[in-house]
């Protein structure tokens, strides 16, 4: 509900001057703010597109965020006051209200966010953290993160870029405020995440991503640009054809798209990624829009542009051979040292036996019924005698 006009005017009149009591801390690191100011000085395309939006779209749903960002870069007092007015009138836009408070530096008496109870999603966790960091409060989020946010993120992040984006903002803000990296609780998941995110995109979405998918990719790179997967993701996300030129994504494009970060041609990425703990595989035959793309998890098997019988025959994705286990044994083809094999179509946790270097081994399928075999495995992989189907 909007504050009354009288209350808004009274709050604004109390602001004889706006400005930081200390530098902004939410998302705008000194390095990032320096880059944004350089964009303004150089009148880059991203800056001019953003400035045009600020000047021409007063009813933007991201208006508070856009005005606060404009003020942070330019110090324009008129735009800063406009941002404060917007935040006073939209107290339940929690993320934007927190950014206005933090980036413009107005007193707590001017902006009063509405109450909020989180539900454990990355979006609600991000909003709660932003409010605490902007207005004060307890930032002890570790237990809430482990018990609620992280399980939610691991279950939904690859299907919902909005949640992924919120998680990136949450983790970066928390790391800055508390000098602690919550990703350490799931190090393997987060180290794989940039590659999984890229390969989880269906061919048409990888070719023409929506703006939130694009922005989530840029934020994921910014969270840890040193990961090898981040460098491939940066190569994809920074393609000129993907630049957001209009709409609500323009301010995010300016904030996160960093041309100074190293990027590697994503076409050089071996086009598959497998997580045995989660029981999840993404793979595609190549990087063309018509590529055969598959997703295998304990929840479903999906494909696009694949042959009708692909599930019943050996399929090759880059250096991966995917072999369906349709009988008691599966023949393992000859492989080079850099080729990998995954057996699938097994029951979850099914045991199989195989040989390598004259030794016999037993392995257990993951929750989706897949097993990755080592490069030195040869001959056949079979169900144990007691496990015949």
| 194 and 170 assigned to the same domain | yes
In this predicted structure, the answer to whether residue 387 has a pLDDT above a threshold of 50 is: no
Rg for the chain (alpha carbons), in Å?
Answer: 25
| Domain closes at, from 228, 250, 269 | 269
3-state secondary structure of 351: strand
370 CB-near residues (< 8 Å, 6+ apart): 274, 276, 279, 281, 296, 342, 343, 344, 346
| 228 and 292 assigned to the same domain | no
Which residue range(s) make up the domain with 345?
Answer: 272-387
| 230 and 350 assigned to the same domain | no
Average pLDDT in the chain = 90
33 CB-near residues (< 8 Å, 6+ apart): 23, 24, 72, 73
Q: Nearest 5°: phi and psi at 71?
A: -65, -40
So what's the pLDDT on residue 89?
96
| 137 and 77 assigned to the same domain | no
Beta bridge partners of 294: 283, 303
Residue 62 near residue 251 (C-beta atoms within 8 A)? yes
So what's the pLDDT on residue 234?
98
DSSP type of residue 145: I
Q: How confident is the model at residue 357 (pLDDT cuts 50, 70, 90)?
A: low
| 219 and 176 assigned to the same domain | yes
So what's the pLDDT on residue 1?
44
| 78 and 189 assigned to the same domain | no
| 262 and 340 assigned to the same domain | no
| 25 or 317, higher pLDDT | 317
* pLDDT tens per residue, range 109-125: 678 898 776 788 999 99
So what's the pLDDT on residue 60?
97
| Domain closes at, from 251, 269, 287 | 269
| 188 and 224 assigned to the same domain | yes
| 129 and 100 assigned to the same domain | no
Q: How many domains does the chain have?
A: 3
Instruction: List the single range of 154-163, 274-283, 302-311 with lowest mean pLDDT.
Output: 154-163
From 62, 103, 93, 98, select the one nearest 244 (Cα to Cα). 62
| 282 and 374 assigned to the same domain | yes
| 140 and 260 assigned to the same domain | yes
| Domain closes at, from 66, 95, 114 | 114
| 169 and 107 assigned to the same domain | no
Chain centroid, CA 23 distance in Å? 27
Residue 67 near residue 90 (C-beta atoms within 8 A)? no
Percent of the chain residues topping a pLDDT of 90: 74
pTM metric for this prediction = 0.91
In this predicted structure, the answer to whether residue 284 has a pLDDT above a threshold of 90 is: yes
- Region 65-86: mean pLDDT is 96
Triad 134, 226, 281: Cα angle to 5°: 100
């Amino acid at each position: 509900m909007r504050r009354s006009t009288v209350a808004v005017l009274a709050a604004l009149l109390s602001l004889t001057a706006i400005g930081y009591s200390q530098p902004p801390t939410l998302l705008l690191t000194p390095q990032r703010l320096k880059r944004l100011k350089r964009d303004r000085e150089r009148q880059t395309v991203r800056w001019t597109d953003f400035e045009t939006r600020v000047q021409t779209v007063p009813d933007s749903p991201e208006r508070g965020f856009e005005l606060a960002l404009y003020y942070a870069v330019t110090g324009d007092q008129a735009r800063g006051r406009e941002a404060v007015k917007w935040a006073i009138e939209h107290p339940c836009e929690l993320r934007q209200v927190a950014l206005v408070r933090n980036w413009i530096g107005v007193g707590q008496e001017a902006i009063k966010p509405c109450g909020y109870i989180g539900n454990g999603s990355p979006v609600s966790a991000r909003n709660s953290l932003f409010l605490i960091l902007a207005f004060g409060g307890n930032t002890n989020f570790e237990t809430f993160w482990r018990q609620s946010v992280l399980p939610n993120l691991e279950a939904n992040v690859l299907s919902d870029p909005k949640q992924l984006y919120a998680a990136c903002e949450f983790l970066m803000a928390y790391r800055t405020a508390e000098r602690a990296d919550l990703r350490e609780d799931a190090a393997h998941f987060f180290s794989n995440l940039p590659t999984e995110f890229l390969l989880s995109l269906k061919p048409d979405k990888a070719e023409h991503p929506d703006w939130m998918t694009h922005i989530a990719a840029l934020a994921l790179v910014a969270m840890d640009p040193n990961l090898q997967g981040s460098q491939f993701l940066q190569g994809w996300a920074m393609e000129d054809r993907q630049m957001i030129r209009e709409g609500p994504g323009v301010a995010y494009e300016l904030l996160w798209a960093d041309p100074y970060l190293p990027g590697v041609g994503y076409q050089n990425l071996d086009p598959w990624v497998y997580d045995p703990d989660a029981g999840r595989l993404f793979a595609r035959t190549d990087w063309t829009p018509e590529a055969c793309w598959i997703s295998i998890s304990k929840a479903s098997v999906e494909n696009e542009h694949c042959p009708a019988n692909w599930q019943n025959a050996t399929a090759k994705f880059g250096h991966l051979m995917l072999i369906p286990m349709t009988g008691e044994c599966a023949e393992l083809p000859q492989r080079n040292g850099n080729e990998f094999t995954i057996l699938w179509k097994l029951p979850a946790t099914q045991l199989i036996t195989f040989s390598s270097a004259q030794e016999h081994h037993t392995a257990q399928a993951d929750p989706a019924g897949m097993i990755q075999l080592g490069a030195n495995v040869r001959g056949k992989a079979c169900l144990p005698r007691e496990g015949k189907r």
